[in-house]
Structure formats: C-alpha cells, structure tokens
C-alpha cells in the first residue's frame, strides 16, 4: 500500500511547505501530494485554501496577491509559500508527486512548469499524477499533457463514478476515507483503476484500508505506515 505524504508531512510541519516535504521524505514517503493554485501575478503556488488566512499570517485571496506579497508571509515556523517550480526543484529525483489542481484557472501555468521540468530532464512524466475535484480542470490538463496520469478526487461516492472516470481516461480515483467500502474498491479495480484514499491518519483506519486492498493512502503522518 503506497503511502502518500499529504501536503508533505503536515502532522509534523506546516502544510505545503518545503519543510513539510523534507520531513515526508525523511519518513520514507515515496510520493508527496501538494495543492496548487495561481496567484495574482500568474505563478503556480503551493497552498491549499483560496485564502491565505488559515495557513499564513496574512489575509486575502491568493488570486488577489502577487508572488512578491505571498513570499513575505509566514506559512508557519518561518516557512514561506513555495511556488510549484521551487517544489519541483526541491523534490527532483527524490519521490513521485501528486499535484492537486485547485481550479481550472491554474492548469495552463501548471502545464507550462511541468513541461519545462520534463524537457530539462529534472522530472519524468511517469513520476507525476495530477488530481482534482474539478473534472473540467482534469480534462483540460489531459488534453495538454496526455501522457501524465490523472486521478479524480471524489468527496462522496457517486452512482455513476465509473462513467465519469472512463470519460476522463483516469488512472486512479481518490475517495474520502469516510465513504470508502469494499464494493467501491472492487468495482474500481474491475475498471482497472487505482484507489488512493484520503486522508487516512488513525492506525485503525490504516489497517482497514489494508484489509480493503486499496492501492495507497494520503496521510498526514507518513511514519505510521
């Protein structure tokens, strides 16, 4: 069962920061998940929320703030909000990367950054997975980088999920731990899909995921596997 560091190792360090990623690597996470959105000056930045209020000492929407302003904010323990490029540079050759697109708006910039990383040899396409709750964003990304795997995030288990996945040519489906069950896993695997479950932190839930036979889990505590 693959362990995926959720926003790095956010149980031990500020989420979506270089420090959090480094700790996840130290804990042996072969894959790290990050969240990417776009700031006012166009750069793809690694932060989960639409606003900076919860995870930094600043205020306002990420989309309204320039990269210069974002870089002055404290993201916790003196860490700064990293760009996607900085994250790729820090993790190159050290793990695989799951990039969650927070909106369709950021797709073109993410594609630009990833294509450059692939072209210069610092990243391989097969070391990347792109995920999102926004299926329009996934479709747009797949059209631009068809060789990169995509994963569909679902908050609940829709009755027609298999049709949705097939239409997107997805590699994986990523359901919430609160809704996952044996029937879902069986059906997904019958469709040739990987099942990566979020966010699995408690030992009893980790054991339940093993019993269900899921392919991987997103966890805030990579050392628990």
Q: Which residues are catalytic?
A: 6, 48
2, 5, 3: which is closest to 16 by C-alpha?
Answer: 5
d(CA 133, CA 104): 10
**Alpha-carbon distances of 154 from 9, 84, 165, rounded to whole Å:** 22, 24, 11
Number of CB atoms found within 10 A of residue 79's CB: 19
Helix (H, G, I), strand (E, B) or coil at 31: strand
Biggest distance spanned by C-alpha atoms of the chain: 48
Look-up: residue for tokens 């993201």?
A: 75
Q: Terminus-to-terminus CA distance in the chain, angstroms? A: 9
Beta-carbon contacts of 206 under 8 Å, excluding residues fewer than 6 positions away, are 200, 217, 219, 224, 225
Residue 84 has phi, psi (to 5 degrees) of: -60, -40
The tokens for 174 are 């990523």
CA angle (41, 89, 40) in 5-degree steps: 10
23, 6, 14: which is closest to 198 by C-alpha?
Answer: 6
């Amino acid at each position: 069962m693959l362990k995926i560091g959720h926003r790095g190792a956010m149980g031990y360090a500020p989420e979506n920061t270089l420090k959090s990623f480094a700790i996840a690597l130290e804990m042996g996470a072969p894959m790290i998940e990050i969240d990417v959105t776009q700031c006012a000056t166009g750069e793809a930045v690694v932060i989960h929320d639409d606003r900076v209020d919860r995870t930094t000492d600043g205020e306002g929407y990420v989309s309204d703030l320039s990269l210069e302003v974002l870089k002055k904010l404290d993201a916790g323990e003196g860490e700064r909000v990293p760009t996607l490029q900085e994250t790729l540079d820090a993790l190159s050759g050290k793990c695989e990367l799951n990039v969650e697109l927070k909106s369709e708006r950021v797709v073109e910039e993410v594609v630009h950054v990833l294509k450059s990383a692939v072209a210069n040899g610092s990243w391989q396409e097969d070391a990347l997975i792109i995920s999102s709750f926004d299926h329009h964003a996934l479709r747009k990304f797949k059209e631009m980088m068809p060789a990169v795997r995509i994963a569909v995030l679902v908050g609940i288990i829709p009755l027609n999920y298999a049709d949705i996945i097939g239409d997107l040519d997805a590699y994986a489906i990523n359901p919430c731990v609160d809704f996952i069950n044996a029937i879902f896993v069986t059906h997904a695997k019958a469709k040739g899909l990987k099942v990566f479950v979020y966010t699995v932190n408690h030992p009893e839930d980790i054991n339940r995921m093993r019993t269900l036979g899921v392919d991987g889990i997103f966890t805030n505590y990579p050392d628990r596997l």
